[in-house]
Amino acid sequence: MIISNLSIPQRFYRLLFLICIPGLLVIFAQLLDERSEILEQSEHHALLLAKHIVAVQSTEISDTKALLKTLSENPSIREFKNGPCPILLSHAQLLFADIANMGIVAPNGEVICSLTTGNQAINIHDREYFQTALSTKQFAIGQFQQDRSVHRATVNFAIPIFDANGAINSVLVAVKPLDKWSQTLAKLPLPQGSQVMLSDTNDNIIALSPFNKIILGSPSNKHWPQIDANQAHILEDNKGHRRIYFTLPLKSNSTLNALTVHVSLPFEQAIIQANKEVAITLVLFVLAIALLIWQARWSLQRVILKPLENLVNAIEDLSQGQPVRWSQKSQTPEFNAIALRFEQMANIRLNVESALSHKHAELSALLASLPDSYLRLDKQGNILMRHGQFAKRAPKLPQIFPDHIYQRLLKQLAKLDEQSHCQLEFSLEEHNKRHVYECRLSPITDHPQAILMIRDISQRKKQEEAINLAALVYNNSSEGMVITDANGYILDTNPAFSHVTGYKRSEVIGKTTSILASGQHEEAFYAHMWQQLEEQGKWQGEIINRRKNGELFTEWLTINSVYDSNGAPYRRVAIFTDITEKKQQDELIWRQAHYDQLTQLANRTQLKRHLKSRLAQGTQQLAILLLDLDHFKDINDTLGHFYGDQLLTEVANRLNQLSPICSLVSRIGGDEFVLVTHYFGDDSALAELADKVLTQLQPKINIGNESFHMSASIGIARTPDDGTSSEHLLKAADQAMYQAKQQGRSGYAFFSNEMREQAESRMRLLKDLRVAQQEQQFCLHYQPIVALKTQKVEKAEALIRWQHPEKGLIRPDEFIPLAEETQLIHKMGEFIFTSACDTLRKVKDSGKHLQLSINVSPVQFTSKHCYLSKWHKQLQAQNLNAQDIVIEITEGLMMNAQPRTQKRLTALTAQGFALALDDFGTGYSSLAYLKQMDTDYIKIDKRFVDGIADNKDDLALCEAMIMMAHQLGLQVIAEGIETHEQHKLLLQAGCDFGQGYYYAKPMPQEALLALVADNYSEKAT
């Protein structure tokens, strides 16, 4: 009503004003929206950069975890106990340059081995990451710390190593220096002025870019604003510049002690640019409005006012459904054209409405056929229509989308009048799988509604991530990579290629791989390589190439072919690793394992390999000379190992001079050397070689101020008679060498069948002896000892016998030496003592008295562990007296008694055991030792007793020994008395006791008990 009362010019200006003002507001709102969109895009770009940083760091941690997991499952590490670290750890450290140290740690925290510190004692039991790995049995990430092995600020990683039963055997630890981590951050492609910082679970800084060593390890809240995680915050820094801040957690599946990434990007320039665009657009719009008003005022009367009035009338007619006759009215040619168009539009209105209805149906069918889901929404977010599985998952919009997506959709729906479009991405966990969705919100023209399309882009995201990951691996791999065409022309290389070869990428593009050829391989080598590539599409092997500086290096090369759709070779991808250092290390390890480090001669391992190789050929017979230096131990004991080592080195140099006639000269340990030579069936040639060896050693050896004359004992063994394997030959030569030593040393001896028979007999006897102990084939026989004056049994000697199931009764002198050598004597001696106690117990129970003598081997006294200390308690347990046991020892034990032997003898005599010196006069008899050992008896050996009836010297010796013993307060027992005359002469000489066949032979326990009973009966009579 207000407008109709105004004149046409007034109405025009009023209308123009009403049109311009809303337009100006709309433009202004649109500009603000564009400004907001620019800022949102900048914020979104910043968030993508932040997520990229998170992805890079997460990948590094995942790679470290995968490395430690692979290493922990390797048998060489899993079964590792002690010593230098397995070589696999060194290889892993070479592949991962950002790891400063690796080691294996026992569950108690003690470092078993470390690549950097060796066997230095370090305990990490107090480290939280170590305890976390033990308690959770999973991969764990550490916190900021000063590492004790590399003495640098580090973050450590740990993973348990399990044994075959699933228990924690040890823990594998990797050390990552923080300065290198910070260098990795600095290499990220970020805008200038960006800041990145990593913090551990204790919120301490562990890496940052730009790098500042001073603030490493300090709390992050001192250098970073307190903001919510996973949200962008625009704040002013200390210089008044606005920046966008992110705090994002860095997590990895099943990884403990996750880290946090802090990202700050400059935002001031984005705000300035958005404000500038808004201002420019607004000024241009105002100028356009002013120009429009001026032009309208100029042509108002002539062009617009009248035709406009006619237009109003025509519109009124059209709105009432009446035919439009506007074109028939007088007006300007321009409005006539408009009028004609208006009439045409009115006439086709029904046709258009019909077409629109058809199009609507067609569009509905199209939407129904699409795989995407969609929703039709009003401005309030109410669902007006839905299609697709995702859209039907819930009745209301907040139940379909995550809350942050729902809130953003509401904001966009509120701007429908501005024709705004928006595209969003979000992810959901569905059935333990991560799905990524893309949403596109498009307003419906001329309606306060919008269409929301939802598409599952999970597969596309995976492909993008795979491509990005492949690019990261290609550019950051420590292995060199080359991509060529089918003919070997280089198309691309990665940075590791330049690092290994020295060639820049620009220097090799377009050239063939022959630029790296070393000339060390023949043409046939490369021909075979290309043949295999053509036939199988791949080749792998070891190859020697040349760096740019001319240096040769060995690499492990793998080449794979890529084929086009027609199956023809399209590209070749080569991956190589520099293994030069590993080859050198392997060669050093091989030499250390096969050669003696002192003399540089072959060691036992190399000797066996050499013999095995020569014996496998079977073309020639072999002989070996095993020589052992005479009295070498005396040099080590008197002058020390330095002189001993120098002497061994000189001996090795002299033996090396015989190498032209020997296929190998080796040192197999200590002072033993082995020479391998050809054998043509002539022992005289071998004897001549042995003489040459002895002659070679004869000249004086001067070491410092000392001079030495060396000799050796040589054992010679030949194939095939003396052995057909390295073990048999060495064993035969060893036996022959001992034969040479027994013959007086400084000579040689050939292995013979007699030696073999003796060795085999000894082995059979030892085997039977072990079985005898298991099956208790031993028994005791007792030989009575009588008082010469009364000829009554007062004592008896317990003698062990072996009741062999096939050979019958075996005397002790046949098996006791072997039992002493193999330490079987301990159980045998315990059997003798236990059986003697049983006999004494039975004698005592019968009311009689008897003193038993038992022989004790020197081995029982000198061994570290023995049963002698328990004998006294065993006697007490059976209510027996120690005085009833006489321990018989030899003179050799007294002469060579060690402190341990002296102590044990003293303890036994202190406990009441009587002591008898057996075989007196046959060794190095010493009167001083007789008193020192507190001896009770001496036993005159049978060799003196045999001749006393016929030889005055033997009788004089016996009389002297008896008189000497009595002067020392000792009693005398004569062994081997077989005649009455011997008995009579010894009685006249004053001997106390006698033992021999004249009185009784050794007898079983039952016979001894009967004899003692009869003896007491005669006494009573």
Burial 114-145 (b: 16+ CB within 10 A, else e): bbbbeeeeeebeebebbebbbeeebbbbbbbb
Q: Is the CB of residue 209 less than 8 Å from the CB of residue 196?
A: yes
Strands (E), 616-679: 621-629, 664-669, 672-679
Tens-place pLDDT, residues 697-751: 888 888 877 888 888 989 999 888 888 888 888 888 888 888 888 888 888 888 8
pLDDT on residue 599: 84
Average pLDDT of span 32-57 = 75
Burial 235-274 (b: 16+ CB within 10 A, else e): eeeeeeeebbbbbbebebeebbbebbbbbbbbbbebeeeb
SS3 273: helix
Q: Which residue has the higher pLDDT, 130 or 469?
A: 130
- How many other β-carbons are positioned within 10 Å of the β-carbon of residue 982? 22
Pairing of β 851-855 and β 793-804? parallel
Q: Which residue has the higher pLDDT, 568 or 814?
A: 568
| First vs last C-alpha separation in the chain | 170
Q: How far apart are CA 917 and CA 930, in angstroms?
A: 8
Helices (H) and strands (E) in the chain, counts: 33, 37
pLDDT on residue 253: 52
How does DSSP classify residue 517?
Answer: B
pLDDT on residue 254: 52
Query: Residue 191 phi/psi, 5° resolution?
Result: -60, 155
The residue type found at 505 is R
Query: Residue 969 phi/psi, 5° resolution?
Result: 80, 20
Q: How far apart are CA 211 and CA 183, in angstroms?
A: 8
Average pLDDT of span 576-584 = 84
Sheet holding 552-563, edge to edge: 490-493, 480-485, 569-578, 552-563, 538-546
Q: Is the CB of residue 271 less than 8 Å from the CB of residue 244?
A: no
pLDDT on residue 886: 93
Residue 410, exposed/middle/buried by CB under 10 A (0-12, 13-18, 19+)? middle
* Cut 0.75: pTM above it: no
Q: Is the CB of residue 801 less than 8 Å from the CB of residue 832?
A: no
Tens-place pLDDT, residues 759-791: 667 777 778 888 878 888 888 999 999 999 988
pLDDT on residue 785: 95
Choose the weakest-confidence range: 181-190, 539-548, 778-787.
181-190
Q: How far apart are CA 282 and CA 26, in angstroms?
A: 11
- How many other β-carbons are positioned within 10 Å of the β-carbon of residue 412? 21
Residue 557, exposed/middle/buried by CB under 10 A (0-12, 13-18, 19+)? buried
Sheet holding 242-250, edge to edge: 205-209, 195-199, 259-266, 242-250, 233-236
Residue from 275, 270, 276 nearest 41 by CA: 270
Choose the weakest-confidence range: 59-68, 238-247, 484-493.
238-247
Question: By percentage, how much of the chain surpasses pLDDT 70?
Answer: 87
Segments in 743-824 forming alpha helices (H): 753-775, 812-821
Tens-place pLDDT, residues 675-685: 999 888 888 88
Tens-place pLDDT, residues 919-962: 776 655 555 556 666 788 999 988 889 989 888 888 898 999 99
pLDDT on residue 1021: 46
Q: How far apart are CA 250 and CA 229, in angstroms?
A: 11
Helix axis angle, 580-594 relative to 604-617, nearest 10°?
90
Residue 17: HSE in the Cβ half-sphere, 13 Å Cα cutoff: 7
Copy the structure tokens of residue 254. Answer: 């099943």
Q: Is the CB of residue 931 less than 8 Å from the CB of residue 968?
A: yes
Distance of CA 325 to the CA centre of its chain: 97
Distance of CA 608 to the CA centre of its chain: 31
Tens-place pLDDT, residues 619-650: 778 998 999 888 888 787 777 878 888 888 88
Tens-place pLDDT, residues 516-540: 888 888 888 989 999 998 889 899 9
Copy the structure tokens of residue 250. Answer: 């860095």
Q: How many angstroms separate the most distant Cα atoms in the chain?
A: 183
Tens-place pLDDT, residues 50-103: 788 888 888 888 888 888 899 888 888 888 888 888 888 888 888 888 898 899
Query: Which residues are 574's β-sheet partners?
Result: 482, 559
Answer yes or no: is pLDDT of 805 > 90. no
Answer yes or no: is pLDDT of 672 > 70. yes
Query: Residue 837 phi/psi, 5° resolution?
Result: -65, -40
Answer yes or no: is pLDDT of 310 > 50. yes
Q: How far apart are CA 714 and CA 540, in angstroms?
A: 51
Q: How far apart are CA 642 and CA 703, in angstroms?
A: 10
Tens-place pLDDT, residues 588-600: 887 777 888 888 8
Provide the mean pLDDT of the chain: 82
Distance of CA 472 to the CA centre of its chain: 27
Choose the weakest-confidence range: 131-140, 471-480, 559-568, 833-842.
471-480
Q: Is the CB of residue 991 less than 8 Å from the CB of residue 920?
A: no
Query: Residue 812 phi/psi, 5° resolution?
Result: -65, -30
Q: Which residue has the higher pLDDT, 235 or 938?
A: 938
Answer yes or no: is pLDDT of 288 > 80. no
Tens-place pLDDT, residues 139-170: 999 888 888 888 888 999 999 999 888 889 99
pLDDT on residue 369: 72
